[in-house]
Amino acid sequence: MRFVIVALFLLAGVATPAFADFQSGVEAVKRGDYATALREFRALADQGDTSAQTNLGLMYSKGWGVPPDDAQAAKWYMLAAERGQPTAQNNLGRSI
């Protein structure tokens, strides 16, 4: 029982900073600060965060802070789509 409580506490501690980083990325996009958004989303996407992967796909698709790159957009959409992220699935379907 103690292990379960410790594990939940540790997971809660990990989830909160990740959410804050994601929100920082969203706010950066709203400000047009794509360098910050790219940095925030890339760190989370590399850890498997499907929402961040989807947002990276969008950034590459739209050319926000990066040269437009359909192959990179599809790569990030595919990673998220394979794990069930519905927006990534939709965006990937539209890009094919």
Q: Look at the alpha carbons of 84, 86, 87, 90 in this order and tell me if their dihedral is positive or negative.
A: positive
Q: What's residue 94's pLDDT?
A: 87
Q: What's residue 86's pLDDT?
A: 96
Residue 8 belongs to domain with CATH number: 1.25.40.10
Q: What's residue 95's pLDDT?
A: 78
Residues of the chain with confidence (pLDDT) below 70: 1-20, 96
Q: What's residue 71's pLDDT?
A: 96
Count of domains in the chain?
Answer: 1
Question: Where do the DSSP E strands lie in 1-96?
Answer: none
**Containing structural domain, residue 66:** 2-95
Distance between CA 64 and CA 90 in Å, rounded? Answer: 19
Q: What's residue 38's pLDDT?
A: 96
Rounded to 10 degrees, what is the CA torsion of 89, 90, 92, 96? 130
Token pair 């990179």 in the structure block, residue? 72
Q: What's residue 78's pLDDT?
A: 96
Q: What's residue 8's pLDDT?
A: 32
Which residues are CB-contacts of 91 (< 8 A; sequence separation ≥ 6)? 54, 57, 58, 61, 73, 77
